[in-house]
Amino acid sequence: MAESALALTELGAVFFALGLLARVAGKFGVSPIPFYLLGGLAFGNGGVLTLGGIDEFTELASEIGVVLLLLLLGLEYTATELVTGLRRSWMAGIVDLVLNFAPGAAVGLILGWGGVGALVLGGVTYISSSGIVAKVLTDLGRLGNRETPVVLSILVFEDLAMAVYLPILTTVLMGAGLLGGLEALAVSLLVVTIVLVVALRYGGFVSAVLDCQDREVMLLNVLGAALLVAGIASELQVSAAVGAFLLGIAISGSTAMNATRVLEPLRDLFAAMFFVVFGLATDPATIPPVLGWAVVLAVVTTCTKVVTGAWAAGRQGIGWPGRLRAGAALVARGEFSIVIAGLAVAAGAVEGELAALATAYVLLMAILGPVAARVVEPLARTTIGRKPAL
């Protein structure tokens, strides 16, 4: 079979399989991310069947997937919302960071992966999946609950923390050392500050430049701007993902809604490829040796997220059912955790087992998160007593 024909056949089979996996996930009411990872494991190194004709496309597609994931995440917030959320949630955000970064960092050190491995694995266990959390809250009809603003504020803090963490991680993975990391931090903080100021004062101008009633033109404008900014950010060692996130913040109003509408299908396609590519790069044989550690991290960080959300909601005067709902909503990990592990693996700066541990951990947490959010309220009412929802 000719090379182009083989590539088209394999690519078509991958897309069709992803559609089937997403349908299965929908039947069970869970995120499709674990199914995409399992699909990648099945057809990657050491899997059932190795796909070798689509490597160039999948690598570029996975990078575009990360850019689109972060761009649409940024489109969900305005600069004002970010600043307000940061003021409201900074203390809860710090508690969240300490409680959920520490377990991953500790396991990285215990397994002998050094400071770099600890930095990577700490980030994997720290960040909740905004996409899964938002879908769970919507599906369960909890967007209007009193605890939901607390959950969203913590997610905003985590997103801002990633804007600082990712450039540092990228620099460390390149072997630049402590000084390089500090320089990356300074550049990142400067860029974030500039973007927030521009978004607050000139967000309307940025939106007007990109806005258009024609869907085709709108798609080309926003996608082109996102890839352009991501490329420039990557060249400045700020991280392409962060560049896309900051562009999303700068776009507001009807432009943000229109951009989200035209980009969502594209994001779903390329993001699915990103998760598949991560699975393709992971040898399934490397998972069993680290599965025990993945279970330990899943149990510990489920508890730490529940504690974080409950404590933050309690500070707002919310009752115990609402506190437990807030904590359970934060449990899921997903896209960001895989992004972090993917950066480390691509740089070749960490052990191959780390990718396997991250994959197993995300598989567990992406399933456990929605389940925990669904069962926590009946459990709270059983153990605490029947009280009206707060």
pLDDT above 80: residue 225 = yes
pLDDT at 386 over 60: no
Please give the average per-residue pLDDT across 22-46, as a whole number.
Answer: 78
236-239: long-range contacts, CB 8 A cutoff, minimum separation 24? 236/187, 236/191, 237/167, 237/170, 237/171, 237/174, 237/184, 237/187, 238/167, 238/184, 238/187, 238/188, 238/191, 239/166, 239/167, 239/170
Residue-wise pLDDT for 348-375, tens only, equals 766 668 888 988 998 889 888 888 888 8
User: Whole-number mean pLDDT of the chain?
Assistant: 81
32: exposed, middle or buried (Cβ count in 10 Å: 0-12, 13-18, 19+): buried
DSSP state of 145: S
Does the reported pTM lie above 0.85? no
CB 151 within 8 A of CB 133: yes
CA nearest to 242, candidates 75, 65, 70: 70
Q: Which band of pLDDT confidence, cut at 50, 70 and 90, is reported for residue 82?
A: low
Higher pLDDT: 384 or 339? It is: 339
* Tokens 């978004």, located at residue: 199
- Quickly state the pLDDT bin for 311 (edges 50, 70, 90): very high
Q: Write out pLDDT tens, residues 188-218.
A: 677 767 766 776 677 777 888 888 888 899 9
Q: Are the CB atoms for 354 and 117 separated by under 8 Å?
A: yes
CA gap 327, 310 in Å, rounded: 5
pLDDT of residue 205: 79
Whether 299 shows a pLDDT value over 90: the answer reads yes
Specify the pLDDT at position 336. Answer: 79
CA 300, CA 279: separation in Å to the nearest integer? 24
Would you say residue 63 has pLDDT above 60? Answer: yes
Q: Is the pLDDT of residue 389 over 50?
A: no
Q: Which pLDDT belongs to residue 1?
A: 52
Copy the structure tokens of residue 143. 């967007």
Whole-number Å distance between alpha carbons of 111 and 359: 16
Please give the residue that has the higher pLDDT: either 280 or 219.
Answer: 219
pLDDT of 247-284, one tens digit each?
Answer: 887 887 788 888 988 998 888 888 888 778 777 777 78
Q: How far is CA 373 from the centre of its chain?
A: 18
Q: Is the pLDDT of residue 345 over 50?
A: yes
C-alpha closest to that of 274 among 347, 366, 340: 340
- Please give the sequence-ordered ranges of beta strands (E in DSSP) within the chain, or none if there are none: none
Is the per-residue pLDDT at 390 higher than 60? Answer: no
Q: What is the mean pLDDT of residues 24-48?
A: 76
Residues 6+ apart with CB under 8 A from 185: 164, 167, 168
Taking 90 as the threshold, does the pLDDT of residue 331 lie above it? yes
* Residue that has been written with the tokens 């869970």 in this structure: 30
Structure confidence at residue 388 (pLDDT)? 46
Q: Which of 272, 269, 293 is nearest to 353 (CA)?
A: 293
- In the predicted model, is pLDDT for residue 178 greater than 60? no
3-class DSSP state of 51: coil
- Which residues, in sequence order, are CB contacts of 231 under 8 Å at separation 6+? 240, 243
Q: Predicted confidence band at 46 (pLDDT cuts at 50, 70, 90)?
A: low
Among 149-163, 171-185, 222-236, the least confident range: 171-185
Question: Do residues 31 and 132 touch, judged by C-beta distance below 8 A?
Answer: yes
Domains assigned to the chain: 14-384 (1.20.1530.20)
Q: How far apart are CA 19 and CA 77, in angstroms?
A: 29
Residue 67 has pLDDT above 50, yes or no: yes
Q: Report yes or no: 125 and 100 within 8 Å, Cβ to Cβ.
A: yes
pLDDT above 70 coverage of the chain, percent: 83
Does residue 236 register a pLDDT over 70?
Answer: no
- pLDDT at 378 exceeding the cut of 80: no
Q: Taking a C-beta distance cutoff of 8 angstroms, is the pair 342, 269 a contact?
A: no
Q: How far apart are CA 232 and CA 332, in angstroms?
A: 31
Candidates 233, 228, 235, 148; CA nearest to 195 is 233
Q: Count of alpha carbons within 13 Å of 286, Cβ hemisphere only? A: 18
